[in-house]
Structure 1
Amino acid sequence: MAHARISMYLPPDVNPTQAAIAYGCRALPKLNEELQSEDLQTRQKALMALCDLMHDPEHVYEAIKIGCLESLKALLKDGDHMVRIKTTEVFYIMATHNVGRDGFLEHGVILALSFLLNDPQPLCRENLHLAYKHLAQLPSGAQGIVSSGLIPSLVWKLQREEEEIQQLILDTLASCLQEDAATEALDNRVVPFLKQMLLSSNNDIRSKAARTLMAVCIPLEGKNQVWQYDVIPILVHLLKDKTEEVQANAAGALMYATMTTEGKYAALDAEAITPLLELLCSSMSKVRLNAIKALTMLAEAPEGRRYLQAHVPTFRVSEKDINQAVQRAAHIAIKVIEWKP
């Protein structure tokens, strides 16, 4: 005889917003079919389930193999904002894996995502820029973004987006501008935009703006614009920032900007030597290294060399630094400071 009993076990963990995942090798093909469904709720549930599965690179590989990327690209144009948000989330999760980034390049995902740069949903744009940031970590991915003609759009969005998204764009640009794209960014007024961001109250934005400026300064035109737009005094001011990462990137940007004669004298006029010398005692090796390299550039000017001759003992101490790169940089700095015509 049957008895009515209450189970001691908790009910199964069922998420009503997520599609049921088929067993084994049928799971992803079934979800791909549901992504193409005309029923809105079916598409939404399939995307929720796909977000969970894409954390596994093996699932990413299988999804690309069976054509999920084409289904997802179509959903970027969906009229439902939740579908677009979850679709871009799937893309950015896929972009955290090498196999996903390779798939983006092979299936034209970069351009497909770019159509949402002006999407009214901030979450959608944030996911999109997360995907670009991860993609740009590969040289081929950064080159793919550059080849897609997105640098002007990214620079333009830099001054109009929310702070969280601005940080993602700065990360993407810093990687892309090392792939021969600095000239294109310079033509679109990237230096004035970065100058404004160096003055931000947000530590991360100041740090990332200075890091991007390092990439901007690689070509000669970038060095010239940093001098022309009077950015060097701001970088000197950031050498005294409370955040070590900001100090490191500001010193790095100065290192590149002072390779020209105009840059050297602009930094000397802004009294850059004293704060740079103070950074030689920093606990962060990157700060010490960039500061020494910037001081080496300033020592190439007669005025800088004369001033630094009294500080050679400080560089002798740096020659014994625990970091070998700092040791080498200090040795080179001493040779430049002690050089006599």
Structure 2
Amino acid sequence: MAGVRADPTWAPVAFGRRAVPQLFEELQKPEPGRRLRALASLCDLVHDPELLYQAVNGGNTELYQAVNGGFMEQLAVLLEDEDPLVKVKTCELLHQLTAHSAGRQALLTSSLLSPLSLLLDDSSSSCRTSVHRVLNRLALLPAGAESLLSLVPKLMLKLRHEEDEEEEEEEEEVQVLLLSTIACCSRLDAQPSLSSDGVSLLRRKLSHRRPDIRREAAAAMMALSVPVDGKRQVCEEEELLPVLLHLLQDEDVDVRTNAAGVIMNVAIITAGKQRCLGLDVITVLLSLLSEEEQEEEKRRRRKALVVYSLRALTALAEAPDGRHLLLEHLPLLVRRSQDAEEDQEVRRAAQTAVEVVTWTP
């Protein structure tokens, strides 16, 4: 019987706890081919949580502990490698590492964020995409989003740059990752995005043909509309609220939800109430509440949309014109507030809306 032939793109892997130290040695070899094969093998190995923990924490082997520096420090060197393929494969390995909590923690406490941010301008599109994947996974955690706040102005510049280039499928994937990262960071602190012309840049993405780009852009806009300055900028941005009104009727439920969230936030301030009432937003929000879903899964997905719509109507009911219009549709709000099969959070939001609409001095 013929023997099994090893994959020539992977480095040979030692058995057990010797595997990671051996590949770590290969990463420091001068030949790019050996480094690439070692990185390919590591990408496969780090799917094993135990081996991943050994890699990022040094393991217990004397050889590993004797190595000058550490695993993450060596990856920082590889991010500046002269061979572009080595940089791409290193970014892929970091993306694999960030799938695990130990890997994310190791990356956040390392010095890799600075060289990673430099690769956002790398000539290789594969490298740039891998970097965005790493940053996006980090941003999903509060600690990661906080560590990336200083990068937000650069991310906004990249968003403008992506807009100016002819869009391809790969570049559109980068836009989704970029917008998602900006949204996560802005939920923690919206000011860096607001100070980087974020409202204007995001508005241009709200009409994109891809629903995932519209969804992430609307999610980021909702985060920017939380502080008072953000609410004001949304109101002042030309044609933004009409676009959001259009998104309330989008085919994608998440796009509708995020758009309703922006209107909910903006309707809190007087200027937002006036703009929304002038656009007849109440009619569209009421139509969303009138939609009935029999399937439990669809009702669950629409829960946030319904809650945001009710809260937006509550804010608009504080204006005399809004209250007058909503009095005509009070039965719908009452039904939502009393339906025993309705979600408890939806009922509470509807009850608050009824109280505001029926309030008398």
TM-score bracket, shorter-length normalisation: over 0.9
Q: CA–CA distance in 1 between the matches of 2:242 and 2:231?
A: 14
1:22 is matched with 14
Q: CA–CA distance in 1 between the matches of 2:71 and 2:5?
A: 27
> Displacement, 1:278?
1.2
1:308 is matched with 326
TM norm structure 2: 0.89
Change (3 A) 1:257 1:19: same
Give, as a single letter, the amino acid of the residue that structure 1 aligns with 2:26: E
- List 4+ stretches of structure 1 deviating above 6 A: none
Query: Within 5 A, what are the aligned runs for 1:99-110?
Result: 99-110=102-113
Query: Which whole-Å deviations, capped at 9, do the CAs of 1:227-284 have from their partners, x for residues lacking one?
Result: 1113111111111111111111100111111111101111111111111111112642
Query: Within 5 A, what are the aligned runs for 1:90-239?
Result: 90-146=93-149, 149-161=150-162, 162-180=171-189, 182-230=190-238, 231-239=240-248
Query: Which whole-Å deviations, capped at 9, do the CAs of 1:293-319 have from their partners, x for residues lacking one?
Result: 111111111111110011111112222
Q: CA–CA distance in 2 between the matches of 1:164 and 1:56?
A: 27
Give, as a single letter, the amino acid of the residue that structure 1 aligns with 2:356: V
Q: CA–CA distance in 1 between the matches of 2:113 and 2:335?
A: 49
What are structure 1's unaligned runs of at least 5 residues? 1-6
Give, as a single letter, the amino acid of the residue that structure 1 aligns with 2:283: T
Change (3 A) 1:139 1:282: farther
> Displacement, 1:160?
2.2
What are structure 2's unaligned runs of at least 5 residues? 59-69, 163-170, 294-301
Q: CA–CA distance in 2 between the matches of 1:164 and 1:177?
A: 20
Q: Which deviates more from structure 2 when the two are superposed, residues 274-283 or residues 15-24?
A: 274-283
Change (3 A) 1:11 1:339: farther
Change (3 A) 1:282 1:28: farther
Query: Which whole-Å deviations, capped at 9, do the CAs of 1:24-65 have from their partners, x for residues lacking one?
Result: 111001111111110111000001001111222222221112
Give, as a single letter, the amino acid of the residue that structure 1 aligns with 2:322: G
Q: CA–CA distance in 2 between the matches of 1:112 and 1:202?
A: 31
Change (3 A) 1:38 1:282: farther
TM norm structure 1: 0.94
Counterpart selection for 1:260 from 269, 280, 290: 269
Aligned partners of 1:19 and 1:42 also within 8 Å: yes
Give, as a single letter, the amino acid of the residue that structure 2 aligns with 1:235: L
Aligned partners of 2:248 and 2:256 also within 8 Å: yes
Q: Secondary structure at 1:160's aligned position in 2?
A: helix
1:4 is matched with none
1:290 correspondence with 2:308: yes
Give, as a single letter, the amino acid of the residue that structure 2 aligns with 1:273: I
Q: CA–CA distance in 2 between the matches of 1:298 and 1:96?
A: 43
Q: How many residues align?
A: 330
Give, as a single letter, the amino acid of the residue that structure 2 aligns with 1:33: E
Aligned partners of 1:282 and 1:288 also within 8 Å: no
1:275 correspondence with 2:275: no
Q: Secondary structure at 1:116's aligned position in 2?
A: helix
1:243 correspondence with 2:261: no
Percentage of identical aligned residues: 40
Q: CA RMSD in A?
A: 1.3
